[in-house]
Amino acid sequence: MTLSQRPASRFFAAFYRYNRVAHPPRVCAHSASIAQHDRQQSALRHPRQLHTSRFLRQQEQPQSRDAKDTRPSGPIDAGSRDTNAAEAAFEDVDGLDAEAERLKHDVRQLMRKVPSSVAVITVSSYDAELKTHVPMGVAVSSFTTVSLDPPTVSFNIKEPSKTLDAIRAAKGLFRVHFPAADKGGATMVDVFARGNHANAYKTRTKALGLYVPGHGSIVDRRRTTASQAPQISGDYVRAAMECTLTQEMSVADHVILVARVDSLESRRLDDNAILYVDGSYMVPDGSNVKTPKEITTNFDSTWYSWEHPLFPDEEGRLAYVDQIKAVVKTQTKLQATTTEIRRHLVATLPLSPAAWGINVDPLIDECRREDGHPSELPPHLQDSSVLSDFYGRLTQADRAKIIDRARKLVVADPQIVTINLRKFFQYLEVSTSCRDLLPSDIAGPLRTEGLLGPFQPRAGDFKANTAGWDLQYIEQVEHNLIAHFAEIGHEKALLSRFEDVVKSLGENQAVGSYFQKSRFRLLAAAAPKLFHPSKFDISGDISPEEARVVVRRYIRYMQLENFSVFRKNMNMNPQEILRSLRIHPCIAGFDVEFLVGKIKHLYFTRRYTRDAVAQIHDMLEPLFARITTWKDLENRVKEFVKKMPRQAMRWSTPDKLAAMGLDWEAVLDVPSSNNKQPLNDGHIVETLIAKELKGMYVDSKDELSKAIALYLKKQYNFDVDPSQSLPQAQRLGGIQSSSDDMEEAMMASRQISHAGTRHVKLKGVDPASEEESAGRPRVRSVVVRQPPPPRWHKLRERVEAKMWSADKAKEGKAD
């Protein structure tokens, strides 16, 4: 029996015959041999024509060995052949349509049951209508690898496609995200499967942690990749690839894209990505994705780590340890002390354990021993503790203790400085994730005491073995990094990827991990003028008052009520934000990273922006009171000025309120009055501060007294020195106290300033007096209205009277 032709072959053969009739070739005045040569070259240039000619040859060949070739041996008339082909094509068209439709349906039904991978493609795109960069992208279920040498991938996109057009416009650069096999991964795919339009962009921005380079006026270039494609961040992203398009080929209504993998970013190499089967998302074990997978569900309780106050204490740290241990004990597979298990555990946690000085390896081993299993820690970690003594942002006292421990260790064993620096830190009970701790901080004092050899700069002679990365070797890397940053300047240093900088110096990229938490210490050392103490009004070990000011400035800068501005600012480097706010990026005594992380958590885990803003205000409520009484205000001012007199003369009123523990929009509660007096709008706070400063004045020889006298003179034209203020008291009749003098001076100063803009009248100048004063500056006296009685003074009297009446009433009831 003759082998029948395949349906696809029959379709293309019929289409070819129909096309020859419907679009006959034009008659040209050149030889048949040249025309045949041209057709051959055209077929080679266009793959689709090459495939068509292949099907044509199949049509013209016998379909079985027994079939005879019935083609005429002699020449064929072209017109006759085309007519016959056209008739055959029209006869078969109905049957072909039905068969093709049935085949399409069967293929669709089959492929719906075949699990496929899911990936989200993003690409840089500027929307001319919206006039901004948008999160352009598409979810594809055809992503797969083509080759691993070099790493090459492919996927299909249906035309027309905005994403495809954007990839071509971006010179073939794009980014691939792999969703995790959980509910968050399914959500990520959903929001990128709804087309590319304004509403889709809003949905993506709201539902996901998106960073869109170019969106807004500020770009975090250290985070922006070469493709400048939007980046999706969060635990629902399994991994991400940066790719460059190398080939594309049109097939029917789709385009096959082949791309080279330029880089891979992954936090969890052992986790499964999500699958798409029969219209739903599934885990590779066959279960539908309705809730996060088991291990993620068990980690949900650790999200309560963000519920700790803004100033976490040791109690919160111990509570986090208990939460992690509870998860490890319920998941016995996590008790294997392997590198993969440890990385998986750390990647799943919402807050890095190292940020709070929690060592994961000893913690897992402790869980094993508590469950009756033997220890699996390597010998060099047997003596390690779960909690490091020193972690986070170190104070000067912490640094002094670390140096003292290092000195004792070196005295006991001089060779200890030759071991790997991480092991050296373990002996010191110092977390390797400490902020702004440089090798020179330890090596310098040791060298001063003669316990370490002189520093020798190094160029070249790099050590590939990590065992040789001791204190002095890493100190040499620190020296080279500072020199490099000083050479390229702060702006370029800030925008440079740290891994690229380390690699450009010829070092192993892993060396850079020692400095990831100390980048701004290096930048400060490389640009001493830019980081001069005069550039900052908050630096070093900060007090609780200064910490509240840091929170106020940062929150104010982020503009919580403006979602688009907030998202833009959230992508900025927190340390650079602090520097722009006159706060040294390397301050100690306050966990800035926890503040930023908690704000992100609250913002990105709430469905509506208004809910997130309300949650952030609730977070700040324990730190800043919104209503105060007169007596409480006086006590707060007195304590603040006593502890920080110079800041009381330098900071703005909102900063002063924050330092006192008051909200920058706090109001004064006046008894028996429905009107609350805003403290930030008026002179109540400034007047109370001025009175306290005056009381701190000693004499003109004291440095602080000099500053106070200069401040009061400049602000209120008041001479705090009694010898200078005596004539003024005599002019007022000698019946006012020094405090009253200051109040009158302050009110007159404010009234003059106010009158200078609205009620200024210039006296005429007498010509005679003008001639007498030739050569001297012409003086014009200013006439101002008599200053009214101080409103704040009446307010104070009214409040005190009410309080006195209330006390008397209580005494009467008691009698």
Strand 782-783 to 761-762 pairing: antiparallel
Helix axes 563-570, 592-604, angle to 10 degrees: 140
**Per-residue confidence (pLDDT) for residue 19, from 0 to 100:** 57
Q: Do residues 405 and 428 lie in contact, with contact meaning Cβ atoms separated by under 8 Å?
A: yes
Tell which wins on pLDDT, 119 or 220: 119
CA 317/CA 325 separation, integer angstroms: 13
Tell which wins on pLDDT, 812 or 274: 274
**Per-residue confidence (pLDDT) for residue 91, from 0 to 100:** 43
Q: Which residues pair with residue 120 across a beta bridge?
A: 139, 177
Q: What is the band of 22 on the pLDDT scale with cuts at 50, 70, 90?
A: low
Helix axes 703-716, 684-696, angle to 10 degrees: 140
CA 333/CA 331 separation, integer angstroms: 5
**Per-residue confidence (pLDDT) for residue 804, from 0 to 100:** 56
**Predicted confidence (pLDDT) at residue 649 exceeds the cutoff of 90:** yes
Task: State the DSSP H helix or E strand holding residue 705, giving kind and residue range, or none if neither.
Answer: helix 703-716
Q: What is the band of 598 on the pLDDT scale with cuts at 50, 70, 90?
A: confident
Q: Do residues 179 and 122 lie in contact, with contact meaning Cβ atoms separated by under 8 Å?
A: no
From the CA atom positions of the chain, what is the Rg in Å?
38
CA distances (Å), origin 431, targets 148, 425, 591: 38, 7, 15
Average pLDDT, the chain: 76
Residue 315 identity (one-letter amino acid) = E
**Per-residue confidence (pLDDT) for residue 449, from 0 to 100:** 94
**Per-residue confidence (pLDDT) for residue 289, from 0 to 100:** 67
Task: State the DSSP H helix or E strand holding residue 614, giving kind and residue range, or none if neither.
Answer: helix 609-620
Highest mean pLDDT among 12-21, 176-185, 288-297, 803-812: 176-185
Summarize pLDDT for 312-333 with one digit per residue, the tens: 778 878 888 888 888 788 776 7
Displacement of CA 741 from its chain's centroid (Å):
53
Tell which wins on pLDDT, 121 or 727: 121
Summarize pLDDT for 233-257 with one digit per residue, the tens: 877 888 899 999 999 999 888 999 9
Summarize pLDDT for 533-589 with one digit per residue, the tens: 999 999 999 999 999 999 999 999 998 888 778 878 888 889 999 999 999 999 998
**Per-residue confidence (pLDDT) for residue 632, from 0 to 100:** 94
Summarize pLDDT for 743-760 with one digit per residue, the tens: 555 555 555 444 433 333
| DSSP-assigned states of every residue in 727-771 | HHHHHTTS-S-HHHHHHHHHHHHHHHHHHHHHS-EEPPPPHHHHH
In terms of Cα–Cα distance, which of 132, 196, 188, 189 is closest to 167? 196
* Span 586-613, average pLDDT: 81
Q: Do residues 319 and 364 lie in contact, with contact meaning Cβ atoms separated by under 8 Å?
A: no
Highest mean pLDDT among 514-518, 628-632, 784-788: 628-632
Summarize pLDDT for 26-73 with one digit per residue, the tens: 444 343 433 444 444 443 333 333 333 333 333 334 333 344 444 444
Please compute, for residue 64, the number of CA atoms within 13 A of its CA located in the half-sphere on the CB side.
7
Percent of the chain with pLDDT over 70: 68
CA distances (Å), origin 49, targets 39, 58, 85, 338, 772: 10, 14, 19, 56, 105
**Predicted confidence (pLDDT) at residue 507 exceeds the cutoff of 60:** yes
Lowest mean pLDDT among 278-292, 459-473, 638-652: 278-292
In terms of Cα–Cα distance, which of 435, 529, 400, 418 is closest to 469? 418
**Per-residue confidence (pLDDT) for residue 25, from 0 to 100:** 47
Tell which wins on pLDDT, 125 or 82: 125
Any alpha helices (H) in 339-470, and if so which ranges? 339-348, 360-370, 396-412, 421-428, 439-448
**Per-residue confidence (pLDDT) for residue 417, from 0 to 100:** 92
Percent of the chain with pLDDT over 90: 30
Summarize pLDDT for 720-732 with one digit per residue, the tens: 765 554 454 444 4
Q: Do residues 425 and 443 lie in contact, with contact meaning Cβ atoms separated by under 8 Å?
A: no
CATH number of 116-294: 2.30.110.10
Lowest mean pLDDT among 354-363, 451-460, 787-796: 787-796
Q: What is the band of 80 on the pLDDT scale with cuts at 50, 70, 90?
A: very low
* Span 204-210, average pLDDT: 82
Residue the block writes with tokens 């070990």: 541
pTM flag (> 0.85): no
Residue the block writes with tokens 């919206």: 130
**Predicted confidence (pLDDT) at residue 414 exceeds the cutoff of 90:** yes
| DSSP-assigned states of every residue in 62-125 | -SSSSS---S-SS---HHHHHHHHHHHHHHHHHHHHHHHHHHHHHHHHHHHTS-EE-EEEEE--
Any alpha helices (H) in 133-249, and if so which ranges? 162-169, 183-191, 198-207
DSSP 572: S
**Per-residue confidence (pLDDT) for residue 60, from 0 to 100:** 38
CA 137/CA 111 separation, integer angstroms: 24
**Per-residue confidence (pLDDT) for residue 79, from 0 to 100:** 41
Displacement of CA 460 from its chain's centroid (Å):
35
In terms of Cα–Cα distance, which of 568, 545, 763, 745 is closest to 645? 545
CA 145/CA 147 separation, integer angstroms: 6
**Per-residue confidence (pLDDT) for residue 31, from 0 to 100:** 39
Three-state DSSP state, 189: helix
Q: Do residues 236 and 179 lie in contact, with contact meaning Cβ atoms separated by under 8 Å?
A: yes
Helix axes 471-488, 519-526, angle to 10 degrees: 60
Summarize pLDDT for 88-119 with one digit per residue, the tens: 444 444 444 556 667 777 788 888 878 888 99
Highest mean pLDDT among 472-476, 668-672, 795-799: 472-476
Residue ranges per domain, the chain?
Answer: 7-63+78-111, 116-294, 299-379, 396-526, 535-620, 625-762
Q: Do residues 180 and 238 lie in contact, with contact meaning Cβ atoms separated by under 8 Å?
A: yes
Q: What is the band of 778 on the pLDDT scale with cuts at 50, 70, 90?
A: very low
In terms of Cα–Cα distance, which of 292, 297, 296, 306 is closest to 187? 292
Tell which wins on pLDDT, 477 or 700: 477
Q: What is the band of 693 on the pLDDT scale with cuts at 50, 70, 90?
A: very high
**Per-residue confidence (pLDDT) for residue 812, from 0 to 100:** 56
Q: Do residues 409 and 435 lie in contact, with contact meaning Cβ atoms separated by under 8 Å?
A: no
**Predicted confidence (pLDDT) at residue 409 exceeds the cutoff of 90:** yes
**Predicted confidence (pLDDT) at residue 354 exceeds the cutoff of 70:** yes
**Per-residue confidence (pLDDT) for residue 71, from 0 to 100:** 41
Measure CA of the first residue to CA of the last residue in the chain; give whole Å.
124
CA 406/CA 794 separation, integer angstroms: 62
